[in-house]
Amino acid sequence: MKKLFGLAFCFALSAMLLLTLSACDWMDLSAPPRDIYLSYYSGDAQSGEEQDIAEYVSSVDRGAVVTVISEDPSSTSTAIYSGIIINTDGLVLTAADAAYFVRSSGSVRTADVSAVLSEIYGDSTKYKLELIDYDSDAGLALFSFYDRFYHYTDDEKTSVADGFQLYATLSGVDLKVGAACVAIGNAAGEYYIGNLPDPFYIRETVTSGVVSAMSENVGSVSVGENSYNKFTFSAASTPELFGGALFDENGYLIGMISDKFSDNGGNVPRFAAAIPSEAIAAYFDEVSLRKQIVVEYSVATDGAERSAVQLCGNLSEAA
């Protein structure tokens, strides 16, 4: 009987050790990236007269928005943001604040950042992100997934394609006050002390509104030597939606939700603001030149009807 108990104990201990080593291997960035296969997703890309704009945009672009989890490696502080997948490689655009934590002493600590895919994939795994760049003046940060992703190209899952199936296309059309917009992102995140509760977030939420104002009073961001005015919108937004996507009625990205500001110097945030797609494109080009990499993204011009012109940073200018 003692022998049986001893064997059972050794087996259990070995299993626990194996699981522990596997977990450590997953957390260790020196371990090889994993191959992740995403389920085939077929959204309703046909806009009918009876279909609401928010419903249409959600069906087309919701899978391009992720939850971004930023953790301070030296404490139990965790912040939740939203992020936007911008190409098939899985580059993720989000708020610059997600990349670091500012201590009370004023020192800056790089955050451990991960992402959870849209709920359409049926996967709540936290996938590790690697920092490519962040720019506090622009309010933008760019990450890449550590693992390698593939997506199925058919319902039967008989073939796969490299990269992400769903990603955001930037709008190349001038914004107009009163234009319809749809905000998609994680609206329930907040700072936590200790372990994250389960569930610790609500997956992407969808709200609709219009572009409210575009003026110097809204604020601006700097990308390189250029400055770009932010704009406000009326779609419901919370601070935890920062880094989320703002789409036009065709499902093209017109901005990244950046912050809220108060009117007349008040202390209560009233208006939600976004960084325009023009500034986002300039940021991608600036990162391409500065990092000597190609940040590929797509831009839809007027009348494109969801077809896109592929653009990337022009490295020849840096030669």
* Residue 8 included in any domain: no
* Residue 99 included in any domain: yes
* Residue 137 included in any domain: yes
Q: How many domains does the chain have?
A: 1
For residue 7, pLDDT over 70 is answered with: no
pLDDT tens-digit series, residues 267-319: 545 678 899 999 999 999 999 999 999 999 999 887 655 444 444 443 333 33
Residue 311 is classified by DSSP as: E
The predicted pLDDT at position 51 comes to 61
pLDDT tens-digit series, residues 241-266: 789 999 998 899 999 998 766 555 55
Cβ atoms 141, 131 nearer than 8 A:
yes
* Residue 23 included in any domain: no
- In which residue are the tokens 């907040």 written? 190
* Residue 1 included in any domain: no
Question: What CATH number is associated with residue 294?
Answer: 2.40.10.120
* Residue 100 included in any domain: yes
* Residue 83 included in any domain: yes
pLDDT tens-digit series, residues 132-184: 999 989 999 999 999 999 999 988 889 999 999 999 999 998 888 988 999 99
The predicted pLDDT at position 6 comes to 46
The predicted pLDDT at position 241 comes to 78
Lowest-confidence segment of 17-26, 193-202, 235-244, 259-268 by average pLDDT: 17-26
pLDDT tens-digit series, residues 49-88: 456 888 888 888 889 999 998 888 777 778 888 999 999 9
Containing structural domain, residue 266: 37-318
pLDDT tens-digit series, residues 35-49: 999 988 876 555 444
* Residue 17 included in any domain: no
What mean pLDDT comes out for the span 216-232? 86
What span, in angstroms and rounded, lies between the C-alpha atoms of 148 and 181? 32
207-236 burial, b at 16+ Cβ within 10 Å, e below that, comes to bbbebbebeeebbebebeeeebbbbbbbbe
Secondary structure of residue 169 in the 3-state scheme: coil
The predicted pLDDT at position 292 comes to 94
The predicted pLDDT at position 154 comes to 87
Cβ atoms 71, 77 nearer than 8 A:
yes
C-alpha distances in angstroms, 218 versus 71, 162, 222? 30, 40, 14
